[in-house]
Structure 1
Amino acid sequence: MKLATLKDGSRDGQLLVVARDLKTAHVADGIAPTLQAALDDWAFIAPQLNDLSLLLNEGRARRPFDFEPDKCMAPLPRAYQWADGSAYVNHVELVRRARKAEMPASFWEDPLMYQGGSDDFLGPMDDIVLAHEEWGIDFEAEVAVITGDLRMGTTPDQAHGQIRLLALVNDVSLRNLIPEELAKGFGFLQSKPATSFAPVAVTPDELGEAWRGGKLHLPLRSLWNGKLVGQPDAGTDMVFNFPQLLAHLCKSRNVRAGSIVGSGTVSNKDASKGYSCIAEKRCLEMIADGAATTEFMRFGDTIRIEMLDEKGKSVFGAIDQTVKKAER
């Protein structure tokens, strides 16, 4: 089934069930008011949502209405946790090569992961509002999973069964703020503003054969100012699958239902597939020519991130945003 959250003036919005073709939706009233409420009691709530999904897809739901992504919040407008991995080690390797730095062998064996802000996610068509272009504004196209409860020490095999939903992410980065922050030795903070999500979160069973081995095997498209700049396959070159990322996260802690874990920037070794963030393009330029020439995003730039199935149909709907200057 496919789920979304309608803007209704509240912090957490109203839970919607969305048709498979993303054309119609139905309020999940009487079942669960919000997505977090559904995740908190998934075993009881999910079958009821699935029944409504079946009715909606068969054209038998009582009160369907047109699905409008611009009226949606992030599927989880705020979450108990947002942790982002770096499962595509090719991306990390390119960054290190561009800096002429050796990459530790451990990066191929133990995932990198940071904990980001989860109190204020952006919806699929919300503007990316920032104060300065000079901060080095960059998009990052990613896949993410939303979890059920995971106990400390959960294995990858156990974690696989606690993946409730998949989502698409734009993990916006401010590249020119990152070096000074990381130099402090305490990780990202100001260099990672609000993260954006596609309108619809999808249960794994909706993905068919594209969901296998704990990975989503479909191309992830990024269009910057209307130009296709990348469509790497999210299943190819993913060194750590989602169950492994989840097991890494809960090594020393419990992880609660509604936590979101990202894949990191989707990246393929085949450079002809393009890029999912500007930083990777700049790294390739530095490796080839000794200097980066592609600039970061400017106010007025647009970014569209979307995943299409084998029939060319949108799976999650699109992230479609404009970068705008904050008004003081």
Structure 2
Amino acid sequence: MKLATCQNHTRDGQLMVVSRDLSRAVAVPHIAATLQQALDNWAQAEPQLQQVYIALNQGEAASAIAFDAARCLSPLPRAYQWADGSAYLNHVELVRRARGAEVPDSFYHDPLMYQGGSDAFLPPCAPIPLRDEAWGLDFEGEVAVVTGDVPLGADAAACASHIRLLLLVNDVTLRNLIPGELAKGFGFFQSKPATAFSPVAVTPDELGDAWQDGKVHLPLLVDYNGACYGKPNAGVGMQFSFPQLVAHVARTRELVAGSIVGSGTVSNHDRSVGSCCLAEQRMIEIIDTGAAITPFMKVGDTVRIEMKDAAGLSIFGAIAQTVVKHD
């Protein structure tokens, strides 16, 4: 099943069921006005949404309209929780190597994670506002899951059953603000502005055999300024699966329905597949030559993040954003 949130006169938008080929959509206010409402009442809402989805794919939804990703908000325009991990240790290893530091052993068995701002997410086709190019704007292509209610202390096996949806992420980062913030010993804040998510969120069964062991075994496609920048496989090199990441969050707290947990920047050891962020390429340049050459994003730059199935069809729709000056 595929779900999206269309812009309307409300802050949380209107829930839409979207056809598998992303061509048609239908509003379902009789089931749930918003995605959050559906997640809060998933046991009752999910079978009804599935019936609409089947009818839509069979061409039997009379009220269906053309689906327009440009009119979408992020599937959850705001969320109760946005926790982002760093499950691809190649990314971590490159960053540490570039500054001559070893990766602590704990990183291989205890996930890195930070708590991001979740009060307002960027729409998937909305501009990325930038006040100062000196802040070092970067994109980060990721995958994330949306959970139902997760009990305190749930282990990974239990957490797997609480994963409701998957979606793509552009975890926008201001790289040059990070060192000063981390030096304070209190984590990210100003260096992590609003995040954007894919137009469509999908249930795990939509991925078929690509959803295995709590990972998505498909390339994440990143285009930068109209050219292919990276296509690493999201199922390769992921040290911690999504159930493990969710269990990490649940170790000391409950998660409420609508919580989002991210994978961190998708990254493979194979350099030929490129990267999902500019910082990773900069780290490779530092390791190889002693200096970073690749600049960070500037006003007018574009990024597109997408994932396609074996037939070449877009699964989640695309995050497609342009950097704009914010005064």
**Which TM-score band applies after superposition, normalised by the shorter structure?**
over 0.9
List 4+ stretches of structure 1 deviating above 2 A.
Answer: none
Aligned residue in 1 for 2:270: 270
- The Cα of 1:139 is off from its aligned counterpart by 0.1
Aligned residue in 2 for 1:162: 162
One-letter amino acid of the structure 2 residue matched with residue 144 of structure 1: A
Percent of pairs with identical residues: 61
Q: Secondary structure of 2:22's partner?
A: coil
Aligned residue in 2 for 1:52: 52
Aligned residue in 2 for 1:87: 87
Aligned residue in 1 for 2:215: 215
Q: Distance in 1 between matches of 2:217 and 2:119?
A: 30
Q: Secondary structure of 1:177's partner?
A: helix
- What root-mean-square deviation, in Å, do the aligned CA atoms of Structure 1 and Structure 2 show? 0.5
- List runs of 5+ in structure 2 lacking aligned partners: none
Q: Secondary structure of 1:284's partner?
A: helix
Aligned ranges 1:1-328 → 2 under 5 Å: 1-327=1-327
- List runs of 5+ in structure 1 lacking aligned partners: none
Any idea what the Cα deviations from partners look like across 1:135-175, whole Å, max 9, x if unmatched? 00000000000000111110000000000000000000000
Q: Secondary structure of 1:158's partner?
A: helix
Q: Distance in 1 between matches of 2:198 and 2:206?
A: 16
- The Cα of 1:130 is off from its aligned counterpart by 1.6
One-letter amino acid of the structure 2 residue matched with residue 238 of structure 1: M
Q: Distance in 2 between matches of 1:302 and 1:296?
A: 12
One-letter amino acid of the structure 2 residue matched with residue 74 of structure 1: S
Q: Distance in 1 between matches of 2:22 and 2:122?
A: 20
- The Cα of 1:9 is off from its aligned counterpart by 2.0
- The Cα of 1:62 is off from its aligned counterpart by 1.7
Any idea what the Cα deviations from partners look like across 1:173-213, whole Å, max 9, x if unmatched? 00000000000000000000000011000000111000010
Q: Distance in 1 between matches of 2:160 and 2:130?
A: 37
Tell me the number of residue pairs that the alignment of Structure 1 and Structure 2 aligns: 327
TM-score scaled by length of structure 1: 0.99
One-letter amino acid of the structure 1 residue matched with residue 217 of structure 2: H
Q: Distance in 2 between matches of 1:159 and 1:28?
A: 28
Q: Distance in 2 between matches of 1:9 and 1:138?
A: 31
TM-score scaled by length of structure 2: 1.00
Q: Distance in 1 between matches of 2:35 and 2:274?
A: 34
- The Cα of 1:80 is off from its aligned counterpart by 0.1
- The Cα of 1:29 is off from its aligned counterpart by 1.8
